[in-house]
Amino acid sequence: MAAVRWLEHNCHYQYMDELLQYIRFGLMDVDTLHTVALSHPLVQASETATALVNEALEYHQSIYAQPVWQTCRTKPRFQSDTLYIIGGKKREVCKVRELRYFNPVDQENALIAAIANWSELAPMPVGRSHHCVAVMGDFLFVAGGEVEHASGRTCAVRTACRYDPRSNSWAEIAPMKNCREHFVLGAMDEYLYAVGGRNELRQVLPTVERYCPKKNKWTFVQSFDRSLSCHAGYVADGLLWISGGVTNTAQYQNRLMVYEPNQNKWISRSPMLQRRVYHSMAAVQRKLYVLGGNDLDYNNDRILVRHIDSYNIDTDQWTRCNFNLLTGQNESGVAVHNGRIYLVGGYSIWTNEPLACIQVLDVSREGKEEVFYGPTLPFASNGIAACFLPAPYFTCPNLQTLQVPHHRIGTI
């Protein structure tokens, strides 16, 4: 270890305890911790060093609890966030296993080479679409969705997995109690919450379940007051917000509900200005934004919703924004970074074709909001998921500040 060699040089032993606080023992593998760290005389002679190594060993032994045990000693240095896309449904491939991240290899030609700027990572254990993702402790969780079986039949699944960007690897976690697709997954405190959706028989569910990483176990919590699928959700202000969706009797909803985890109950808030299904929700600066989706007209025909509505958490009021989406998007992935909302992929109800566009809603400056097209996806896909995670340092070790995909291809 370089740090130990420096301590031994000129006998800098008085700095040992202070220096070893900055060593990222949690990023070392178990064999290294045993053979190098614990066996070294300097480490054996220091209670502080031994405690740090034992902390790292316990971290490795508690595989499922790692997302809630993250510290500065378990995270790589010099990582910046970038956009990841996970799974989805292509035209020619039913379910996608691919995990990619935006890597602007050539910023000068970013507008021309946008598609080439998506680097591929380790694929999911199984291809899926209409799944949900959540981020906890810089780990990516994927749950549910539709999977294609060997028979060619597709149906909702209970399975879930977790991606570690430090090692570019996937691990299976405990499956949910219900099969779910077209549902919502949110991370609050040390838990994940899965809300509603459709099961393997396409029955719409009212159930809500919670995943505890420390126990690697799902348990049911307070159900919704009705069955709901194709809704949107987001975690903001320490609460899980759910909007719109469709019931088991095919009723489109304009409701806004919020889950209070400490009280384990659902609370009704002011309804949306319009019914929406297959839409997306995101939060920026204590405001919720609902984007995309569709509604029904007086003839019960589907209509695209391009209006963007915002909800003020503090005043419980909805406002119609004076800026719209450039393209209607349904079944899109959504992710937020630095006051920008990224609406990823989806499909058009006019053509019934998947989309390859990313629309970026910049609401970072009040009064100067704008909507523009970001980089193009490597393939058109609906039922896709998106999130922001640290860039994988093993693929770009010298890249300390990775640019996020906010360059403009078109503006209002």
Residue 270 has which token pair?
A: 């002011």
- For the stretch 249-296, pLDDT in tens is 999 999 999 999 999 999 999 999 999 999 999 999 999 999 999 999
Q: Token pair 């919590």 is at which residue?
A: 221
Q: What percent of the chain has pLDDT over 90?
A: 64
Q: Residue 103's CB: how many other CB atoms inside 10 A?
A: 21
Q: Residue 39's CB: how many other CB atoms inside 10 A?
A: 10
Instruction: Give the pLDDT score at 5.
Output: 57
Instruction: Give the pLDDT score at 400.
Output: 44
- Residue 108: pLDDT over 70: no
Instruction: Give the pLDDT score at 38.
Output: 62
Q: How confident is the model at residue 37 (pLDDT cuts 50, 70, 90)?
A: low
- Residue 13: pLDDT over 80: no
Instruction: Give the pLDDT score at 35.
Output: 74
> Which one has a higher pLDDT value, 360 or 22?
360
CA distance 208 to 202: 17
The most confident of the ranges 73-87, 328-342, 382-396 is 328-342
325 exposure class (CB count in 10 Å sphere: 0-12, 13-18, 19+):
middle
**Mean pLDDT, residues 239-253 taken together:** 96
- For the stretch 122-176, pLDDT in tens is 999 999 999 999 999 999 999 999 998 877 788 999 999 999 999 999 999 999 9
Q: In 53-114, which ranges are E strands?
A: 81-86, 99-102
- For the stretch 379-407, pLDDT in tens is 999 999 999 998 877 665 554 444 566 55
- Residue 376: pLDDT over 70: yes
Residue 28 has which token pair?
A: 């070392």
- For the stretch 169-189, pLDDT in tens is 999 999 999 999 999 999 999
Q: Token pair 């920008």 is at which residue?
A: 340
- For the stretch 351-368, pLDDT in tens is 888 999 999 999 998 888
**Mean pLDDT, residues 80-91 taken together:** 90
Residue 272 and residue 256 in contact, taking contact as beta carbons nearer than 8 Å:
yes
Q: How confident is the model at residue 222 (pLDDT cuts 50, 70, 90)?
A: very high
Q: Token pair 């700095």 is at which residue?
A: 15
Q: What's at 2, amino acid-wise?
A: A
- Residue 4: pLDDT over 90: no
Instruction: Convert 298-313 to b/e letters by CB count within 10 Å (16 or more is b).
Output: eeeebebbebbbbbeb
Residue 241 and residue 286 in contact, taking contact as beta carbons nearer than 8 Å:
no
**Mean pLDDT, residues 49-54 taken together:** 82
